[in-house]
């Protein structure tokens, strides 16, 4: 009735760590983010730190915090632990992820100790990667969280640090927590789990440098946007201009006008939609804005998702 579940040796799938596993992980960085409740975006592979090279440098889109990922296809060892701490210092990382075939108990304890001793802005994760199959099925990968911040300890620290977060910051955090919870649970739009005390939140499009965003902008406006920042001004303007050439078709499909903001004096560009609203509005009004944000983000992703892939590839090859 049931098939037999078996583990596959990692090196059967990825013979070499640097040339096989790290590139695969970079391509599947969003899947790692889902396992951790984050929206991870790749920044660089083999990023230099003095004479060493970090496997993966990434960013958590929801908080813009820097993320380092060190991986190995064997059990954890002291050498990689030392490298992990060196890379964390070198990149001033807020989120530190150690991926391995298995985690030794003393290394799990070390990561637990680091999470207990560091502040609320520094998070250490130990992740086990495994490959499994049922009978003779195709292999499937799985990320298992083996070490993570103790939420009770972190929450306790939040209580003592609350005075350092402004009342408005708490309102933003509460608003975006509610927004991402609904987008995640009801619409599977995001895997993010933690709101931040800031006036914006970004979500991946599936293409590095292209994101969807919910914001509270200046002038008493709330904004939903498609944000273009491939790291190069000319590439950004190219993607924007190619989309702008389809303005009438895009707006017709969306059912409303878009604010086309090329931002010639800045590197990035964006397509934006606006509604009245500020974070100090009443609970009822914030609920309306939340519904508006959800509706516009879903429509923007549905409309642009099929259009931006080729544009991103064309811009990257410029």
Tell whether the model's pLDDT for residue 288 goes beyond 80: yes
d(CA 233, CA 173): 31
Instruction: State the average pLDDT over residues 141-146.
Output: 92
How would DSSP label each residue in 144-171? EEEE---HHHHHHHHHHHGGGS-HHHHH
d(CA 99, CA 189): 26
pLDDT, tens digit, for every residue of 46-56?
A: 888 877 889 99
Which residues, other chains included, contact 88 with Cβ-Cβ below 8 Å and sequence gap of 6+? 68, 96
Residue with token string 């006036």: 199
pLDDT for the residue numbered 166: 65
Q: What residue ranges define each of the domains in the chain, with the CATH number in brackets?
A: 5-157 (3.40.1350.10), 165-316 (3.30.1460)
Tell whether the model's pLDDT for residue 308 goes beyond 50: yes
Predicted TM-score of the model (pTM) = 0.75
Tell whether the model's pLDDT for residue 305 goes beyond 60: yes
How sure is the predictor about 153, in pLDDT bands with cuts at 50, 70 and 90? very low
- Which residues partner with 315 through β-bridges? none
pLDDT, tens digit, for every residue of 254-271?
A: 999 999 999 999 999 999
Residue 156, phi then psi, degrees to nearest 5: -65, -40
End-to-end CA distance of the chain: 54
pLDDT, tens digit, for every residue of 200-259?
A: 999 999 888 899 999 999 899 999 999 999 989 999 999 999 999 999 999 999 999 999
């Amino acid at each position: 009735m049931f098939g037999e579940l078996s583990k596959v040796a990692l090196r059967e799938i990825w013979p070499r760590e640097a040339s096989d596993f790290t590139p695969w992980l970079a391509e599947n960085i969003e899947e790692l983010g889902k396992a951790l409740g984050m929206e991870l975006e790749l920044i660089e592979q083999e990023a230099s730190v003095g004479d060493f090279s970090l496997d993966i440098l990434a960013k958590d889109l929801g908080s813009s915090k820097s993320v380092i990922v060190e991986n190995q296809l064997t059990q954890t060892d002291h050498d990689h632990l030392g490298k992990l701490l060196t890379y964390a210092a070198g990149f001033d990382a807020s989120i530190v992820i150690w991926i391995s075939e298995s985690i030794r108990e003393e290394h799990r304890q070390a990561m637990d100790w680091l999470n207990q001793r560091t502040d609320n802005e520094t998070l250490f994760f130990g992740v086990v990667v495994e490959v499994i199959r049922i009978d003779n099925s195709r292999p499937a990968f799985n990320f298992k969280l083996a070490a993570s911040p103790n939420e009770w300890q972190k929450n306790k620290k939040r209580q003592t640090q609350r005075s350092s977060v402004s009342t408005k910051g708490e309102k933003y955090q509460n608003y975006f927590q509610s927004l991402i919870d609904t987008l995640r649970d009801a619409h599977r739009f995001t895997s993010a789990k933690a709101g931040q005390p800031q006036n914006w939140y970004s979500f991946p499009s599936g293409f590095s440098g292209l994101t969807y965003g919910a914001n509270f902008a200046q002038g008493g406006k709330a904004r939903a946007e498609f944000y273009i920042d491939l790291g190069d001004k000319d590439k950004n303007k190219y993607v924007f201009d190619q989309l702008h050439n389809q303005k009438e078709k895009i707006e017709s499909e969306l059912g409303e006008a878009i604010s086309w903001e090329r931002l010639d004096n800045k590197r990035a560009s964006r397509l934006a939609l606006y509604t009245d609203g500020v974070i100090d509005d009443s609970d009822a009004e914030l609920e309306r804005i939340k519904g508006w944000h959800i509706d516009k983000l879903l429509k923007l992703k549905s409309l642009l998702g099929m259009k931006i892939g080729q544009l991103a590839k064309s811009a990257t090859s410029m």
